[in-house]
Amino acid sequence: MSTSPLTALRALPLDVLRRRHSTKWRAYPDDVIPMFVAETDFPLAEPITGVLTDAIAIGDTGYTPPDPGLRDAYAAFASRRFGWDIDPARIRSTADVMMGVVELLRATISPGDRVVIAPPVYPPFAICIPEAGGVVEEVPLVDTGAAWQLDLLGIEAALAGGARAVLLCNPHNPTGTVHSRESLAALADLAAGFGAVVISDEIHAPLVQPGIGYTPFLAASTTAAEVGYAVTSASKAYNLAGLKCALMITASDRTTAVLRGLSPEVEWRTGLFGALAGVAAFSPESDPWLDAQLVTLDENGHLLGDLLAEHLPLARYRKPDAGYLAWIDLSAYGWGDDPARHILAGARVALHHGPEFGTQGSGHVRLNFGCSPELLSEAVTRIGSLVGR
C-alpha cells in the first residue's frame, strides 16, 4: 500500500453531480437521491483528468493501439498494491469485465455446461452465463452470522454433478466479502479435481480496505494459477465505467494459450479513453487519490452503521471489507420482497433491488455510499421516516 497521508476524499457538490449525464444522475428525477448503481460522486484522480484532457485537446480519439501501456501499468499496480507478480505478456484487454467473462466462458465451456455462482451476487452474472451458452447453477454464500463464506461443500457437489466452471466474485458484490487465501486455494483444488475452471471477477480489488488483506485468485496457489482466469478493470475504483476498458489475466501456459486464442475483435473493443485512463489510474501518481478514497469509504461505512442504528434499528448490516456497496437486510420492516420499490415511492431514494441478486436478496437492498456524508445522512433519514407509516 502507498504511504500517502490519510486524508479523506471529498465528493463533488450536488449541483455539480446533477450536471452529469451518467445512469446514476439521469435515471430518476431530481427529487430522488440516487444510490443504486455503482458510480461514485468523487472528482476524478488528477492524473486521469490530465491524460483525458490532453487527449481531447489534440483530437486523440481514434482506435486503441495494440499496446497502450495497460499491461505494464496493471502489473506494476498489482505488485505495488497486492504483492502480486504478473507477467504482462499474460494480459489482454477488452471493453468491460462482463464482456471478458462471456468470452472466457465461451472459450472454456461447452453449450449447456453448468456454471456455479454464489448468490446473492452481481445480477449480470446470471445474464452473461446464458449469453456464453452456459446454465446457471446457484450455490449460495454461507452466512455465519458474522461473515459470508463460500460454500465449498456445495460447490464440490455441483462440480461432482457436472458443473464445469465457477464464476467467482472476489471481492464479492454485494456483500463486500474478501475471500480468504485458504478458501480460494480450496476452491482451486476442487476445480482442478473435477476438470473445471474458475473465472474471477476482481473489479473491486483496488477498494479492499487497508489491513484486511486481499488475495487475487490466481495468486492463491499454484493450482489456482493453473485453473483460473481473472478479469478486472479500473472502472469501479476510479469511476471509469463509461470509458470501456477491462483486463483479462492468466498465470499459466495453458490458460494463456486460451486467452491468446480469443478473437482479435475481443481486444479491439477496448476504448481508447478507457485505456488511457486505466494507465493513469494504475500509475503510482494516482495512489494518493485511491488511498484518500479508501479513507472516505471507511468513514462512510461506519457512518452508515450509525445512521441505520438511529433511523432503522431493525436493519441488518455489516460494514463491507471492500468497496462502497452496502448489503442491507430490511425484511424486519415488512416492506415486501423488494423494499427498494417502497423506499423509492415513499422516501424518494433509489436503491438497488435486492431480489435481482438472487432469491437470497428478498427483503434486502444494496446502497451505494460512495458519496458525501451529508447525502448519505439525508438518504437514510428519508428512509427512516417511512418506519411506522
Q: Are residues 132 and 222 in the same domain?
A: yes
Structural domain includes residue 1: no
Instruction: Name the band, by pLDDT with cuts 50, 70 and 90, for residue 3.
Output: very low
Last residue of a domain, one of 262, 282, 302: 282
The pTM of this model reads 0.96
Domains identified in the chain, total number: 2
CATH number for the domain spanning 84: value is 3.40.640.10
Last residue of a domain, one of 259, 282, 305: 282
pLDDT of residue 6: 61
Q: Are residues 277 and 141 in the same domain?
A: yes
Q: Are residues 271 and 143 in the same domain?
A: yes
**Per-residue pLDDT reduced to its tens digit, 80-139:** 999 999 999 999 999 999 999 999 999 999 999 999 999 999 999 999 999 999 999 999
**Per-residue pLDDT reduced to its tens digit, 29-61:** 999 999 999 999 999 999 999 999 999 999 999
Q: Three-state SS across the chain? A: CCCCCCCCCCCCCHHHHCCCCCHHHHCCCCCCEEECCCCCCCCCCHHHHHHHHHHHHCCCCCCCCCCCCHHHHHHHHHHHHHCCCCCHHHEEEECCHHHHHHHHHHHHCCCCCEEEECCCCCCHHHHHHHHCCCEEEECCCEECCCCEECCHHHHHHHHHCCCCEEEEECCCCCCCCCCCHHHHHHHHHHHHHCCCEEEEECCCHHHECCCCCCCCHHHCCHHHHHHEEEEECCHHHHCCHHHCCEEEECCCHHHHHHHHCCCHHHHHCCCHHHHHHHHHHCCHHHHHHHHHHHHHHHHHHHHHHHHHHHHCCCCEECCCCECCEEEEECHHHCCCCCHHHHHHHHHCEEEEEHHHHCHHHCCEEEEECCCCHHHHHHHHHHHHCCCCC
Q: Are residues 216 and 162 in the same domain?
A: yes
Structural domain includes residue 163: yes
Q: Are residues 39 and 77 in the same domain?
A: no
Last residue of a domain, one of 248, 267, 282: 282
Range of the domain at 267: 63-282
**Per-residue pLDDT reduced to its tens digit, 236-290:** 999 999 999 999 999 999 999 999 999 999 999 999 999 999 999 999 999 999 9
Q: Are residues 275 and 291 in the same domain?
A: no
